[in-house]
A = this chain, B = another copy of it.
Amino acid sequence: TSEGHYKFISHENFEFELGGSINPLEIVYETYGELSPEHDNVILIHHALSPSHHVASHSEEDKPGWWENMVGPGKPIDSHKYFVICIGNIGSCYGSSSPLSIDPKTKKPYRANFPTLTMNDIVHSQKILLDCLKIKNFHAIIGNSVGAMLSLIWGILYPDTMKYLVLTSSSYKAYPANIANRVVQREVIQLDPEYQNGFYETNPTNGLKIARKLGHFTYRNPADLNQKFSNNHKIAPNLPCEVENYLEYNATKFATQFDANCYLYLLTAMDLFDVTRDYEKPLEVFKKIQAKTLVISVDSDILFTPQQQAELFQCLKDAGAHAHLIQHHSSYGHDTFLVETDVIGKYIVDFLSQ
């Protein structure tokens, strides 16, 4: 419980929601700041689809994290004040159990034999770790995008463990337009001859790159792309223009870091996400939430549209939750939480001091 990088290994069977189990369960995580003697200063941050548990650097030599300007000493989520923990999602490729993990039965990576993953599975794995760390209560649970889905599940499954819940650029279920985009991403990866039905020896980067480009469209608003490359001209068919080079650069960077199966498993978990799934009356599930909840919605987000977030907020209100909605104006679309950390940070600080 002091600042650093950690790996947790459990040798209990970990059972997945839709069947299958793994053993061991491995979970990587990072912490910032010091746990107070009363254990009352914990902030759990959930990372999104592509980032890792490396939220911010621990030293000058350390590489910057995905929320570098948000977490650290004197920053909006101040590690002088809070004990911040971010857990690497199982299914992802940064060290927690995933399709890349070695299956003890075969001594080879699970690949496509890894059990189907749901958002609930990720939360259950986190709960095992946190129980083991004797962390039972949270000052706040904060998440963006997929991270907000996980945060919402925490608010529902363990409602009396947190004071504040912050849900940025997210929704309470997978919407058809989101599923449609992910279906195509999945199909592209599976079309790559190197994918080998998921049992590849080398990562099928061609398909993964194209899938990522497709995902990228939904992370930024088209108007932002048009603005950024306003002098863009396609001169000749075989001469890539600026926007093509930009997509290629970003997709290549992603495909050299991320594993195709991990990506596919996480996309499926997103498709299956719906906190109201098992409830005859959807409102019942929102009635469980006890935390003060902040929904931050960005007007240019075409992935988790303002409408989806307004619906999430309305569900919370209708269920009588203590909920607050911020409709933030920005041109950065879904990625705003990564770009405008100063404003988003201020929203969060103000909310946590209510």
Q: Which residues of B contact A225 (CB under 8 A)?
A: 176-177, 180
Chain A interface bracket (under 10, 10 to 19, 20 to 34, 35 or more): 35 or more
What's the least CB distance linking A112 to chain B, in Å? 11
Q: What would be 13 A-B contacts, judged by CB atoms less than 8 Å apart?
A: A116-B236, A177-B225, A179-B232, A179-B234, A181-B217, A183-B247, A184-B213, A188-B210, A191-B191, A191-B192, A191-B210, A193-B193, A234-B274
Q: Which residues of B contact A271 (CB under 8 A)?
A: 234, 237
Chain A residues in the interface with B (C-beta under 8 A): 18, 116, 174-177, 179-181, 183-184, 187-188, 191-193, 206-207, 210, 213-214, 217, 222-223, 225-226, 228-230, 232-234, 236-237, 241-244, 247, 268, 271-272, 274, 277, 302, 305, 307-308
Give CA–CA (A326, B6) in the complex, Å. 60
Given known contacts A176-B242, A176-B243, is B234 in contact with A210 (CB within 8 Å)?
no
Please state if B244 and A179 are interface contacts (CB–CB under 8 Å). yes
Please state if A233 and B274 are interface contacts (CB–CB under 8 Å). yes
Q: Which residues of B contact A214 (CB under 8 A)?
A: 184, 214
Q: Which residue of B lies closest to A311 (CB)?
A: B226
Give CA–CA (A268, B240) in the complex, Å. 12
Given known contacts A180-B247, A223-B305, A247-B183, is B237 in contact with A116 (CB within 8 Å)?
yes
Given known contacts A176-B232, A226-B176, A305-B223, is B237 in contact with A272 (CB within 8 Å)?
yes
Please state if B18 and A234 are interface contacts (CB–CB under 8 Å). no
What's the least CB distance linking A115 to chain B, in Å? 11
Given known contacts A188-B191, A191-B206, A223-B307, is B237 in contact with A180 (CB within 8 Å)?
no
Please state if B272 and A179 are interface contacts (CB–CB under 8 Å). no
Q: Which residue of B lies closest to A235 (CB)?
A: B272
Please state if B191 and A207 are interface contacts (CB–CB under 8 Å). yes
What's the least CB distance linking A239 to chain B, in Å? 10
